[in-house]
Amino acid sequence: MTQAELRLCSLLLQEHFGEIVEKVGNSLLRTGPRPLRLLVGDTGLLPDQVKKALCVLIQHNLVRYEVQPRGHVEYEARSERILRILRYPRYIYTAKTLYGDSGELLVEELLLHGHLSMSCAVARVADRLTETMEDGKTMDYSEVSSTFVRLADTHFIQRCPMVPESPRSAKAPPPPAPALAIAEKDMYVVPRLSLVGKGKRRHSCNEEEEGEHKAKRQKQEGGTSETPPDDGIYWQVNLERFHQHFRDQALVSAVASRMDQTSSEVVRTMLRMSEVTTASGASHTQPLSSNEIFRSLPAGYNIGKQVLDQYLALLADDPLEFVGKSGDSGGGTYTVSILWGELGVPRPETFGSRCARIFRLLLRKKHLEQKQVEDFAMIPAKEAKDMLYRMLSENLVSLQEIPKTPDHAPSRTFYLYTVNVMATARMLLHRCYKSVANLMERRQHEMRENKRLLEKSQRVEAILASMQATGAEVAQLHEVEEMITGPERQQLETLKRNVNKIDASENQVDETIFVLESFIESTMKRP
Amino acid sequence: GRGRGRGRGQMTFNVEAVGIGKGDALPPPTLQPSPLFPALERRAAPLPGGEEGEYMLALKQELRRAMRGLPYFVKPGAPRRDIERYSDKYQLSSPVDSAIDWNPDWRRLPRELKIRVRRLRKGRTAPLIPKKHVALDKEETIKKLESLEKKEEEVTSEEEEEKEEEEEGKEEEEEEYDEEEHEEETDYVLSYFDNGESFGPDSDDNGDEAVY
């Protein structure tokens, strides 16, 4: 793990789980898998604190454990999973666009709690939705349940590995840690539950007597006296599936920008058809016959079969190879190539569009001499020189020597510029991690600097709220508002604007991180 | 060529090939580390706005705020004070370090992680109760259970334990005086309770003034 990744993981853990969890996570990340007592020694925390932190981390799938052959349990941090915390807003937003409010809240609850049982998740979401509805209305469990089932069917959520059910004989001592496992086929099977009920409001005036009883029940975190029917079956968000979705989106928009709307729709249809059949690491979708594609086109697109065939031919011929023809059965079968290739070129924007041209040229032609670069890019020699050297100093391009004579005499050697794609991608990724970490630290710094002012404004708001609840006059409210002076108000405004900007930037950089990581991953898997 | 003596200033490779022509000035050597904030040559592209961006921003901030409130956010336990204060009883108790406020499914976790939550009595940490008072505890508990209506008795039993625990003993009269005043539902806003720290070490002597 690079320093940048470590630092980012640290910050993410600290921001979302507190310093104790951060210390434990840090120790695991830096020194690798270790057992509990070594962790306690390393971090200098109390054993109970470490245990608590580990429970939290395991609950959220950020740490896994394994029973070693010697008998003790070792814990290992999952760094790539910790980095995903940055992407939580994107997952939730995607769920919202696909499955509406219930989908959004279901994914949010699963992310906030790590994993939940279906009954628990549905209950929580129904309660939350009920809160936002008008008085007297409640959200029925069945609606939320159906969204849950749809999420499971399209693989956006999956079951967690389960505790083995084998009955332990009285003689054999129970293992120090359960070996959780789940079969591939069971991963998306929704248990048959008849979840009946409606969401409950937290403060409902109608049900006075039950209100207290319910409040008590809600206080217990996820525990009722009777065991729920789906005891032991937990669900988690399937991040890989979301990544697949993002990738599909990127492909479709790339096609749309390169060709036209209709062709992008064709590609989108093809991708949708193979959503569930494509393994997450595959480089191509399963072959789809054009007849099938024709049948699955969305209703609004009344293009004839001939036209569709033409589009497919066009897409297949495109040098970018989005779509490949893989056979003639059923009117020609096509696959969508899910490699990243040209998509992973975000960088040269900082150097200007001319540099971007040179960069793309080098990517395409692999190796070029100085003179050739000038000619192909149609850029005057001096500028081209300057840009090449700047990119060279930033390690975006590199020089390759090709000697003409065995003594490598410099005057008789070709010097070619080339782009080492993988190295460049990795370097950019590293920079991205660093950027996000810097952004987070800056944001925390801003908040710390203005802590006093923030606390004051919170207090004032609390006072205002309570006064409004008890029905104070406008003049009194005004007086309380005056407690925050003009310049202070401005300061708060500036702070809010800055923090928003930094947060938005973090989201933006995460998008780039996603593209780069996917590119590197898919390129490494290529045979 | 070697570059020393004859033909000084020559490079080992053909300078022309790389593109530096004859007579071009090379940049001056750098004598210090690069500046902390180098000047930006061109401004960064503006952030994409729009509904999606705004919504994700709001989500992000909301998530951050929500996670702080969940039990998964492990706060370090309140630092152990040197002396047990009377007002500690009335302060909102933070979750004790050793307890877990949510119920994980223990079947899925290694056994060594299970924390035994020791039963506490009204905000006092277990280790402080000396062994010889365990019997007294039980007695008090039974008494308390039997006479739930008489809150005074409960308070009395608490007072007695408090008394035994505190390093500075409390006087009898103060105790009885407290009894009436410190019922669970007091008319006075507890946040106004001044535990007298600011007044220095004499506060406990002036029993009448410190207690409201």
Helix A261-273 × helix A305-317 angle, to 10°: 90
- Cβ-contact A482, A463 below 8 angstroms: no
Q: Do B19 and A234 touch (CB under 8 A)?
A: no
The nearest CA of chain A is from the CA of B206 a distance in Å of: 34
Cβ-based neighbour number of residue A236 at 10 Å:
18
Whether B36 maps to a domain, the answer reads no
Chain B interface mutation, best of A61, A87, A93, highest count of B Cβ atoms under 10 Å: A93
Q: Based on C-alpha coordinates, what's the Rg of chain A? A: 29
Cβ-based neighbour number of residue A468 at 10 Å:
12
Average pLDDT, chain B: 61
The nearest CA of chain B is from the CA of A112 a distance in Å of: 7
Residue in A with minimal Cα distance to B60: A89
Chain B contacts in chain A segment 410-469 (CB below 8 A): 410-411, 413-415
> A112 at the B interface (CB within 8 A)?
yes
User: Residue B69 sits in which domain range?
Assistant: 51-75
Flag residues of chain A having pLDDT under 50: 168-171, 204-225, 281, 328-332, 338-349
| pLDDT at B169 (0 to 100) | 37
| pLDDT at A89 (0 to 100) | 92
- Using DSSP bridges, classify how beta strands A413-418 and A398-403 pair: parallel, antiparallel or unpaired: antiparallel
- pLDDT tens digits along A456-514: 888 888 888 888 888 777 777 777 777 778 888 899 999 999 999 899 888 888 888 88
- pLDDT tens digits along B191-204: 566 665 555 554 44
| pLDDT at B211 (0 to 100) | 54
Structure tokens at A114: 């790590």
Cα end-to-end distance, chain B, whole Å: 97
> B47 at the A interface (CB within 8 A)?
yes
Cβ-based neighbour number of residue B187 at 10 Å:
6
Tell me, what amino acid is at A341? G
| pLDDT at A22 (0 to 100) | 92
CA distances to A87, A130, A356, A367, A521 from A363, in Å: 30, 54, 10, 8, 19
Alpha carbons B134 and B114: distance in angstroms, whole number = 25
Complete domains list, chain A, with CATH: 3-77 (1.10.10.10), 240-339 (1.10.10.10), 344-419 (1.10.10.10), 424-525 (no CATH)
Q: Do B74 and A177 touch (CB under 8 A)?
A: no
Chain A contacts in chain B segment 60-79 (CB below 8 A): 60-61, 63-64, 66-67, 70-77
Mean of pLDDT values over B17-36: 66
Structure tokens at B92: 């909102």
> B105 at the A interface (CB within 8 A)?
yes
β-strand partners of A337: A284
> B148 at the A interface (CB within 8 A)?
no
Chain B interface mutation, best of A12, A43, A55, highest count of B Cβ atoms under 10 Å: A55
Please, is A417 exposed, middle or buried when counting C-beta atoms within 10 Å of its C-beta (0-12, 13-18, 19+)? buried
Residue environment code for A404-414, b if the CB has 16+ CB neighbours within 10 A, otherwise e: eeeeeebeebe
Whether B40 maps to a domain, the answer reads no
Q: Measured between beta carbons, which residues in chain B are less than 8 angstroms from residue A108?
A: 63
Chain B contacts in chain A segment 343-402 (CB below 8 A): 349-350, 352, 370, 381, 385, 388-389
Alpha carbons A206 and A214: distance in angstroms, whole number = 13
Q: Which residue has the higher pLDDT, B120 or A132?
A: A132
The C-alpha angle with vertex A270 and arms to A267 and A275, in degrees rounded to 5, equals 120
- Number of structural domains, chain B? 1
The nearest CA of chain A is from the CA of B62 a distance in Å of: 9
- ipTM for the predicted complex: 0.76
> B40 at the A interface (CB within 8 A)?
no
> What sections of A380-485 are H helices per DSSP?
381-393, 421-449, 451-469, 474-481
The nearest CA of chain A is from the CA of B146 a distance in Å of: 24
DSSP state of A448: H
The three-class DSSP label of residue A171 is coil
- Cβ-contact B71, B102 below 8 angstroms: yes
Say which of A20, A177, A221 has its CB closest to residue B103: A221
- Using DSSP bridges, classify how beta strands A234-237 and A367-369 pair: parallel, antiparallel or unpaired: unpaired
Cβ-proximal residues to A303 (8 Å cutoff; 6+ apart), any chain: A262, A297, A311
β-strand partners of A335: A324
Sign of CA dihedral B10, B12, B16, B20: negative
Question: What pLDDT band is residue B140 in, cutting at 50, 70 and 90?
Answer: low
CA distances to A14, A245, A321, A424, B35 from A517, in Å: 24, 15, 21, 12, 30
Say which of A89, A223, A385 has its CB closest to residue B103: A223
Q: Measured between beta carbons, which residues in chain A are less than 8 angstroms from residue B14?
A: 410-411, 413
Chain B contacts in chain A segment 273-312 (CB below 8 A): none
| pLDDT at A7 (0 to 100) | 93
Tell me, what amino acid is at B108? R
Q: Do A56 and B72 touch (CB under 8 A)?
A: yes
CA distances to A24, A33, A426, A499 from A9, in Å: 12, 16, 18, 20
Whether B68 maps to a domain, the answer reads yes
Whether B63 maps to a domain, the answer reads yes
Q: Chains A and B: how many Cβ contacts under 8 Å?
A: 151
Q: Do B115 and A48 touch (CB under 8 A)?
A: yes
Cβ-based neighbour number of residue A334 at 10 Å:
26
Whether B191 maps to a domain, the answer reads no
Say which of B11, B66, B104 has its CB closest to residue A59: B104
> What sections of B38-150 are H helices per DSSP?
50-69, 134-146
- Cβ-contact A413, A403 below 8 angstroms: yes
Say which of B42, B52, B73 has its CB closest to residue A352: B42
Q: How far is CA A441 from the centre of its chain?
A: 21
Structure tokens at A91: 């997952």
Chain B contacts in chain A segment 52-81 (CB below 8 A): 52-56, 58-60, 65, 67, 73
Residue in B with minimal Cα distance to A416: B18
Structure tokens at A269: 């249809």
Chain B contacts in chain A segment 183-242 (CB below 8 A): 220-223, 232, 234
Is the pLDDT score of B171 beyond 50?
Answer: no
The nearest CA of chain A is from the CA of B199 a distance in Å of: 26
Q: Do A221 and B102 touch (CB under 8 A)?
A: yes
Residue environment code for A25-38, b if the CB has 16+ CB neighbours within 10 A, otherwise e: bbbbbeeeebbbee
| pLDDT at A365 (0 to 100) | 76
- Cβ-contact A148, A210 below 8 angstroms: no
Please, is B46 exposed, middle or buried when counting C-beta atoms within 10 Å of its C-beta (0-12, 13-18, 19+)? exposed
Whether B58 maps to a domain, the answer reads yes
| pLDDT at A218 (0 to 100) | 40
Q: Measured between beta carbons, which residues in chain A are less than 8 angstroms from residue B100?
A: 52, 55
